[in-house]
Amino acid sequence: MNAIDMKNTLLSLLLLIGCIHCKAQEKPNIVLLFADDAGYADFGFQGSKEMKTPNLDKLAKQSLRFTQAYVTDPTCGPSRAGLMTGRYQQRFGFEENNVPGFMSPVSAKDGPAMGLPVNETTIADYLKKRGYSTAFYGKWHLGGEDKFHPMKRGFDEFYGFRGGARDYFPYEKEPKEKLNKLEKGFGNFEEHNGYLTDELAKEALAFIDRSHKKGTPFFAFLSFNAVHTPMDATKEDLEQFPNLEGNRKIVAAMTLALDRAAGKIIDRLEELGIAENTLVVFTNDNGGPTDKNASINLPLSGTKSNYLEGGIRVPFLMKWPGKIKPNSTYDKPISTMDLLPTFYAAAGGNANELKNIDGVDLLPFLTGKSQKVPHETLFWKKDARGTIRKGNWKLLRFPDRPAKLFNIEEDPKELNDLAAQRPEIVKALYKELFQWESSLLRPRWLLRKSFEKDDIDRMDAYWPLQSN
């Protein structure tokens, strides 16, 4: 090869490398802002006159707002498991929160080891394959043992806590629940300075800066513990709500901090000039608990932990400049388990190639390429309680009383039970719900201090013993 040929070959290689780098830059950054236990009505963009959420209200005007967005469960851990895998979490037995007091009946080897099964592929796993830097901040709640750690589940960086609820201010002594200690990376436990909601945003900002400097697309998952109990707020934030009292005043202050943290992330994207190439989602893990933190889910009935709309329908915003119409709404049912295939498709992947997921890529529906409904049917289940929504019909099955039937389109507040009037619909939905349940793995853990052999035998009869 002569000198000219070598020069041309080198030039071609440099151009090829440049094109690869260029294509990598074309992939959108992805930011997921995830609240905890927030009330459906507790944001300005959702109609609240009490809460102060200027940053999220601004984001709402730049976003598409979903009016019928659902979670896969009305409690923290299972909801996160569904989002993280794009699957109904009951398919791998993650049916209850993994908290002290719950134990596994499946086998002796499982013992108290409760978490997202290690053979489940996470949203971070998929995005890493697409060349993304990935980071998780805040509340994990998907398993406390080392094998369940975020940095072993597809995330490059972690700053937060493995458990389900912790103080917002630094612990002055060892907390009762060890999983709620603050951790940076893997095994580096050290308490923060200041207020945790602000600190999570600070760490995420540093990750965004580093990723931008490297020129790599990034996925930042900010899993705020706000506004979950304990009811902790700063004096300065509390002073912004002189007309409120008790927990309502505190949750308003906590929401203000959440909004401030989200605003810092959104502003940094603008400052770095990457907002136009960043997909931003804001949503919540389940309905607000109207007792513990005085959340408001109106006009919906229900609360955290039940299957009325107030327990499973959540605020949901999605912004992607040039791809999704801003200041618009989408009124068909969607689910947080749709985030995995949607993010994967946004990252240049083919969502149709994803195996064993229940979520769908929302982009064809949001851009008008598909006029179909993302989900004709959605399911929820915990123990003997089960719920199915098919079209506008929603059936709630209880273990101790007759089922209820509602037409969600005509009666979103679920005030008019039509079960007695439409027995044929009740029967059909009961059958479909049971068929779905028969495909599930039995729960990996239940709230029991001990298990007798007869208990295990009865569970074996209902849920076939499967290895997962």
Burial grade of 159 (CB within 10 A; 0-12, 13-18, 19 or more): buried
Answer yes or no: are the C-beta atoms of 218 and 208 closer than 8 Å: yes
For tokens 């039509």, the residue is: 418
- Please count the helices (runs of H) and the strands (runs of E) in the chain: 12, 17
- Determine the length of the chain: 468
467 Cβ contact partners less than 8 Å away, ≥ 6 residues apart: none
The two tokens of residue 31 are 């930011």
Q: What is the side-by-side strand order in the sheet with 328-330?
A: 188-189, 183-184, 157-161, 133-139, 218-223, 29-35, 278-284, 316-319, 64-66, 328-330
The two tokens of residue 137 are 């901040």
Answer yes or no: are the C-beta atoms of 45 and 316 closer than 8 Å: no
Q: Which residues are catalytic?
A: 76, 141
Nearest-angstrom CA–CA distance, 1 and 7:
10
DSSP state of 89: G
Nearest-angstrom CA–CA distance, 86 and 84:
6
- DSSP letters along 167-185, please? -SSPPSS--SSGGGS-EET
> Pairing between strand 157-161 and 183-184?
antiparallel
Pseudo-torsion of CA 168, 172, 173, 179, nearest 10°? Answer: 20
The two tokens of residue 15 are 């151009």
